[in-house]
Structure 1
Amino acid sequence: MGIGLRSFSLELHSPHLPIKEVALKEWAVCIDAIAKGEQLVLIRKGGITEETREFRLEETSFYLYPTYEHQRSQLIKPQYQARVEATMQGVTVPPQEVVITHAAHVVDDITVLAEQDLKRLDPFHIMTHDYAAERLQWRNDKPLHILTVRAYKLTVPKTIPVAEGYLGCKSWITLQQPIVDTDLEPVLSEAAFAARRQLIFDALGITEHKK
């Protein structure tokens, strides 16, 4: 029932494009919280159409692809619920196009199996504990992945058409066209990110960063 940890570099080796044309699908409201520097983690268990129905960290640097279909305000903490509707402004479901505004670099892949460990992470994301616990209990023999990510803003957001291959309940997609004519700026400074990351480690009782 322990906590697993894999750590990577603290930032992109070169905080500039290009990175691989890979994107991770995530609720638009969570991307918004990451973009504002309020949330450092992504909570992943696996998509229904994944081959193994188990999340795999295929890349450590990727674009964040916003999704809207399954967002539910009741699964978001009350103080953030209005943002769900805000992310839907001007969006049709399913969307014909999406705007890529941020990329992310995974610094840690933390795995948890016990609800008491998950509870300690409640201050670090905008989801309700019930939602996070439900994800933990789905296929409860498999761990929940808590990815600490350093976010980077695209200096020029990119609107891309939604291709057929982007649809469905899966975590990873490969973008059909490269993203060009933009660059990356970190959302948080190195010092601010390191301090927030340490709070997560402290909450989980992790005393060293294993490489």
Structure 2
Amino acid sequence: MTHSHMALKEWASAVQALEQGEQVLIMRKGGIREETRDFRVVSDAFYLYPTYEHQKPHLIKDSAQPRLQETLDGWNPDDRQVTISSWAELVRDIEISDGETLEKLQPFHIWTETFAEERLKWKRKQPLHVMLLRVYKLDKPVTLDVDPSYEGCKSWIELHGELESAGRTPVLSDEAFRAAVDRVEKALADGGPVNGA
């Protein structure tokens, strides 16, 4: 018997950064074919579904280029299977509507300023969601067949397969995660960014 599980689609390079504890946030404004026309948080706990086709080198910081290349080296656009290796809990959903606030987050993620600005400016009337995530690695990654419902420019999908038995281990200790979140929140509260994770 198979079950449905909610998943959030994200660039494979960002999923890898989350899984390695190098960042604790992602930014969202929704896919082109978002069912609700704008991004909505539909679950506060979900699997991370890695995507590859929209990753662009010029939108990722130089320091993260090796990670990007690593994800692309192992990707075949004709592959009809996907490996799920992490699960996340939403700790805080921060809505941002101005570039000054967004700039304070620049040390805390792998994307360039250009990427962040483009995300903010697209559908200008809608805020950018900055999601702080507590990420867990699955003790044993699960490979699933790619269902047609997974495809397309949308944020949320329902995975079909045996995932409920997969054990999970937090990427960061409670103390390290709290410190990472504190750095992000302090940067937003202060006049500028501090050392990022």
- Runs of 4+ in structure 1 deviating by more than 6 angstroms, as ranges, are none
Quote the offset at 1:94 in angstroms.
Answer: 4.5
CA distance in 1, matches of 2:14, 2:143: 19
Report % sequence identity. 44
Residue correspondence of structure 1 range 121-140 to structure 2 within 5 A:
121-140=105-124
| Letter aligned with residue 140 of structure 2 | V
SS of the aligned residue for 1:176 comes to strand
| Letter aligned with residue 35 of structure 1 | E
Q: 1:96 aligned to 2:80? A: yes
- Which residue does the alignment assign to 1:8? none
| Letter aligned with residue 62 of structure 1 | F
- Which residue does the alignment assign to 2:66? 82
- Which residue does the alignment assign to 2:7? 23
CA distance in 2, matches of 1:87, 1:162: 18
- Which residue does the alignment assign to 1:108? 92
Tell me, yes or no, if the aligned pair for 2:11 and 2:50 is still in contact at 8 Å: yes
- Which residue does the alignment assign to 1:190? 174
SS of the aligned residue for 1:154 comes to strand
SS of the aligned residue for 1:147 comes to strand
CA distance in 1, matches of 2:180, 2:187: 11
Q: 1:146 aligned to 2:130? A: yes
Tell me, yes or no, if the aligned pair for 1:60 and 1:106 is still in contact at 8 Å: yes
| Letter aligned with residue 148 of structure 2 | E
Quote the offset at 1:20 in angstroms.
Answer: 6.6
Tell me, yes or no, if the aligned pair for 1:154 and 1:184 is still in contact at 8 Å: yes
Tell me, yes or no, if the aligned pair for 2:60 and 2:112 is still in contact at 8 Å: yes
| Letter aligned with residue 47 of structure 2 | Y
SS of the aligned residue for 1:24 comes to strand
Tell me, yes or no, if the aligned pair for 1:77 and 1:128 is still in contact at 8 Å: yes
**CA deviation digits over 1:98-134, x for unaligned, max 9?**
1100001000000000000000000110000110110
| Aligned match for 2:151, one of 167, 171, 174 | 167
- Which residue does the alignment assign to 1:10? none
| Aligned match for 1:202, one of 164, 180, 186 | 186
Quote the offset at 1:181 in angstroms.
Answer: 3.5
Q: 1:70 aligned to 2:57? A: no
CA distance in 2, matches of 1:83, 1:186: 21
Tell me, yes or no, if the aligned pair for 1:24 and 1:172 is still in contact at 8 Å: yes
Quote the offset at 1:178 in angstroms.
Answer: 3.4
